[in-house]
Amino acid sequence: MSTSIPDRPRTLAEKVWDDHLVVKGENGEPDLIYIDLHLVHEVTSPQAFDGLRGEGRGLRRLDLTIATEDHNTPTLEIDKPIADLTSRTQIETLRRNAEEFGVRLHSLGDKEQGIVHVVGPQLGLTMPGITVVCGDSHTSTHGAFGAMAFGIGTSEVEHVMATQTLPLKPFKTMAITVEGELRPGVTAKDIILAIIAKIGANGGQGYVLEFRGSAIRSLSMEGRMTMCNMSIEAGARAGMIAPDETTFDYVKGRPHAPTGQDWDDAVAYWRTLPSDEGAVYDAEVFLDATELEPFVTWGTNPGQGVSLSDVVPDPASFTDPNERAAAERALEYMDLAAGTPLKDVEVDAVFMGSCTNSRIEDLRAFASVIEGRQKAEHVRVMVVPGSARVRLEAEAEGLDKVFTEFGAEWRFAGCSMCLGMNPDQLAPGERCASTSNRNFEGRQGKGGRTHLVSPLVAAATAVLGRLASPSDLPAFEKAEA
């Protein structure tokens, strides 16, 4: 954009910020930042719409706004009325508001419906160098494209609706460099879980994390989305990855991707976005990718994780008294004894879904492990695609058959058991290997116990009925069937 560009080297985050400055804040006042894309869902929007109504305001840019239903939607019998009254009210309210204000909405049953963070990228609306907001903390997902994307509260939702801007103070930046080749079976999910375990569930507070290094460049867009999605689990405001050919290839040809001259202009600009040589970050972290193994959480925050081949840690091994106390509480809630090998931990359920891991590649990864096998008898396995389109794609590839023949439930799109706002919940005391992003107490249902894992680990766990990675599965004779 035509604003004067400082000559000092800048980071990716600074460049995107600078190019969205509407008003530079003076004397400690916040900057006014333009928002390119506003994603809306049923949980955090009702009061924002109501606020607009009360003040006689409308949306400034309907053409930069899109809504979908996700948190409350049922994943079975989607043609029946929603039983839970609060859920139904939220969804019906969104429908009424979208109609009244003219907002584009993808409702349950529509082929573009799905988790808001799956829908944006798949439509080609998420692209490098833009600002994206949504009343949802996992908006950080979109940073995988080199966008500045972060979650906002309900009053900010109203503010963006009315003005298409937000008053914001610049975030600090943290470079997280991951170098080296990943071992087979180690995925983006394992990298991000390892990062969070390293810097802690609050280690990223106030920062935009920029993931960089050869291991990150080698990831697919879907893997990058998994990483940025969970930046928030390190307490960060956002996560970002510099756009490259992988990014451009992913965006190109999608329904809302630029075309013709616009595409050429866009790519030319996108190539200028990666952090400059010599750009200064407020903090830096390094990770050796070659050492990483499949990862799993043992506690009740996403920073409480270890390699799957490890044992449940002894709280006494934590020097920080708060961490020690947290570990003690977590082990009690999780009903785990220190020293237990994680691979001995039996599960009752496997949840394959959520905005962290419910895209087509995730489903393919899961299917590749279970194909031709049977799930462990005592385990309930739910596969929930991130969007209706992902569901259709999976069915076109025959993945649905792989899932159902394995004994898994093949469901309709939505947040589902990621947060259990709909009926998809764990019973008290049930233990689940989940591809989602939060293992807080009761997150997947009151009293439920969550172990965060990658789709590959989830799949192997579903086969053996205890936490496992694909390399733990007995050699498999495919020809026999």
Partner 1 sequence: MEKFTTHTGVAAPLTRSAVDTDQIIPAVYLKRVTKTGFEDALFANWRQDPAFVLNQSAYAGASILVAGPDFGTGSSREHAVWALRDYGFRVVLSPKFADIFRGNAGKQGLVTGVVTEADIEAIWAALAANPGAEMTVDLEARTARLGDLSVSFDIDDYTRWRLLEGLDDIGLTLRNEEKIAQFEARREAWRPRTLPVR
Binding site for partner 1 (CB under 8 A): 1-2, 22-23, 32, 34, 36-37, 46-47, 50-51, 54-55, 57, 60, 62-66, 86, 89-90, 93, 104, 124-127, 130, 154-155, 158-159, 162-165, 167, 255-256, 258, 262-263, 265-266, 269
Calpha distance 323→343 (Å, rounded)? 24
Calpha distance 218→39 (Å, rounded)? 28
Q: Identify which of residues 173 and 444 has a Cβ nearer to ligand SF4 in the complex.
A: 444
Kindly give, in sequence order, each residue whose CB lies less than 8 Å from that of residue 292, ignoring residues fewer than 6 positions away. 182, 183, 186, 190, 191, 194
Calpha distance 229→114 (Å, rounded)? 16
- Kindly indicate which of the ranges 211-219, 268-276, 315-323, 414-422 contains the residues binding ligand SF4, using the contact rule CB under 6 A: 414-422
Among 390, 419, 458, 462, binds ligand SF4 (CB under 6 A): 419
Selection from 354, 353, 337 nearest residue 298 by Cα: 337
Least separation in angstroms between residue 96's CB and ligand SF4 is 22
Least separation in angstroms between residue 189's CB and ligand SF4 is 14
Least separation in angstroms between residue 31's CB and ligand SF4 is 27
Calpha distance 106→387 (Å, rounded)? 11
Q: Does 106 bind ligand SF4 (CB under 6 A)?
A: no
Calpha distance 112→226 (Å, rounded)? 20
Q: Does 437 bind ligand SF4 (CB under 6 A)?
A: yes
Q: Does 362 bind ligand SF4 (CB under 6 A)?
A: no
Least separation in angstroms between residue 306's CB and ligand SF4 is 23
Is the separation of the CB atoms in 93 and 53 below 8 Å? no
Selection from 407, 358, 466 nearest residue 114 by Cα: 358
Among 45, 72, 354, 454, binds ligand SF4 (CB under 6 A): 354
Least separation in angstroms between residue 329's CB and partner 1 is 21
Q: Any idea what DSSP says for residue 275?
A: P
Q: Any idea what DSSP says for residue 346?
A: B
415 binds, among ligand SF4, partner 1, none (CB under 5 to 8 A by kind): ligand SF4
Q: Identify which of residues 62 and 280 has a Cβ nearer to partner 1 in the complex.
A: 62
Is the separation of the CB atoms in 210 and 242 below 8 Å? yes
Calpha distance 244→273 (Å, rounded)? 9
Is the separation of the CB atoms in 93 and 83 below 8 Å? no
Q: Identify which of residues 297 and 437 has a Cβ nearer to ligand SF4 in the complex.
A: 437
Q: How many CA atoms does the CB half-sphere of 458 hold within 13 Å?
A: 35
Q: Does 192 bind ligand SF4 (CB under 6 A)?
A: no
Q: Does 149 bind ligand SF4 (CB under 6 A)?
A: no
Is the separation of the CB atoms in 126 and 145 below 8 Å? yes
354 binds, among ligand SF4, partner 1, none (CB under 5 to 8 A by kind): ligand SF4
Q: Does 383 bind ligand SF4 (CB under 6 A)?
A: no
Among 19, 36, 69, 136, binds ligand SF4 (CB under 6 A): 136
- Kindly indicate which of the ranges 255-263, 293-301, 343-351, 412-420 contains the residues binding ligand SF4, using the contact rule CB under 6 A: 412-420
Output the CA torsion sign for 206, 210, 216, 221: positive
Token couple for 192: 């991000």
Q: Does 424 bind ligand SF4 (CB under 6 A)?
A: no
- Kindly indicate which of the ranges 80-88, 283-291, 310-318, 411-419 contains the residues binding ligand SF4, using the contact rule CB under 6 A: 411-419
> What DSSP string describes 205-240?
TTEEEEEESHHHHTS-HHHHHHHHHGGGGGT-SEEE
Q: Identify which of residues 159 and 431 has a Cβ nearer to partner 1 in the complex.
A: 159
Q: Does 44 bind ligand SF4 (CB under 6 A)?
A: no
Residues that bind ligand SF4 in the complex, under the rule CB under 6 A: 70-71, 115, 117, 136, 138, 354-355, 415, 418-419, 436-437
